[in-house]
């Protein structure tokens, strides 16, 4: 019996009434999950957050270079065509990334290129914003993401389900994108821009909870790249939405 248990990656200690499992297996993610499946799921979650952390570090480095190295920022701001290409560049890498997300090492190379390309646009945005506001947005984003992630794990452990949020969030996201495209022809005022950013922050906060629950329950073990990209975009868009609110409030 002991040998069989150790083969599954955990050790049971008999107490006469119950079994205490090795702490490394982690707490049960949600009711009804077996011990073996729970361990595998925790391993998958750690892998996804490891990749996500690397993406955030890369974004910080590329954005900082764009902000502090004036020639790059000046080149992007002075060339509308180049800036438009940089804005479109992440989509060029996103589609092959999703196609080859299970093919190593192509998936990591494409993920790095995708993250670096999207970080350039973040850097340009931060370069044209007061440093104090950028710092405030970073702190607020970190606090919101940490709180919502913790809540999603707690809620899943209690058996709560957020799958019903999917259609609502995607409808809101589509509307948000549509309004954003309309701004190209009908620019919004400062107040409307702040409201737009606030609504965006609420929507992407919902996506953080929804996609974290998907990470816990629904993503398959070979979808670690897709899961990390999804959470990365949620956090990045939440940061940009908060940045917009703070910038308009400052104006």
Which residues does residue 14 pair with via DSSP β-bridges, in sequence order?
A: 19
Is the per-residue pLDDT at 162 higher than 50? Answer: yes
pLDDT grade for 141, boundaries at 50, 70 and 90: very high
Mean per-residue pLDDT, 221-232: 93
Classify 52 in phi/psi space as left (phi over 0), alpha (psi -120 to 50) or beta.
alpha
Q: CB atoms < 10 A from the CB of 39, how many? A: 19
Of all residues in the chain, the percent with pLDDT exceeding 70 is: 89
**pLDDT at 182 (0 to 100):** 86
**pLDDT at 26 (0 to 100):** 59
Q: Rounded to two decimals, what is the model's pTM? A: 0.85
Mean per-residue pLDDT, 112-124: 91
Is the per-residue pLDDT at 149 higher than 90? Answer: yes
Mean per-residue pLDDT, 191-196: 86
Average pLDDT of the chain?
Answer: 85
Is the per-residue pLDDT at 69 higher than 90? Answer: no
CB 66 within 8 A of CB 123: yes
Is the per-residue pLDDT at 4 higher than 60? Answer: no
CA distance 148 to 156: 12
Is the per-residue pLDDT at 202 higher than 80? Answer: yes
């Amino acid at each position: 019996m002991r040998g069989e248990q150790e083969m599954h990656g955990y050790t049971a200690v008999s107490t006469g009434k119950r079994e205490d499992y090795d702490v490394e297996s982690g707490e049960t993610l949600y009711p009804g999950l077996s011990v073996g499946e729970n361990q595998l799921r925790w391993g998958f979650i750690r892998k996804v957050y490891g990749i996500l952390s690397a993406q955030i570090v890369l974004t910080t480095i590329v954005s900082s270079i764009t902000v502090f190295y004036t020639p790059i920022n000046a080149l992007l701001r002075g060339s509308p065509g180049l800036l438009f290409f940089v804005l479109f560049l992440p989509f060029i890498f996103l589609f092959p990334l999703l196609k080859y997300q299970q093919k190593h090492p192509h998936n990591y190379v494409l993920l790095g290129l995708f993250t670096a390309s999207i970080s350039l646009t973040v850097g340009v945005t931060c370069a044209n914003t007061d440093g104090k506001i950028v710092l405030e947005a970073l702190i607020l984003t970190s606090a919101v993401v940490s709180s919502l992630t913790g809540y999603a794990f707690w809620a899943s452990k209690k058996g709560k389900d957020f799958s019903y949020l999917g259609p609502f969030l995607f409808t809101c996201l589509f509307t948000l994108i549509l309004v954003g495209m309309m701004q190209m022809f009908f620019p919004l005022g400062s107040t409307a821009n702040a409201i737009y950013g606030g609504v965006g922050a609420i929507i992407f906060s919902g996506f953080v909870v929804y996609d974290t629950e998907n990470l816990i329950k629904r993503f398959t073990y070979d979808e670690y790249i897709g899961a990390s990209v999804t959470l990365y975009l949620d956090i990045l868009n939440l940061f940009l939405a908060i940045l917009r609110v703070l910038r308009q409030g400052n104006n």
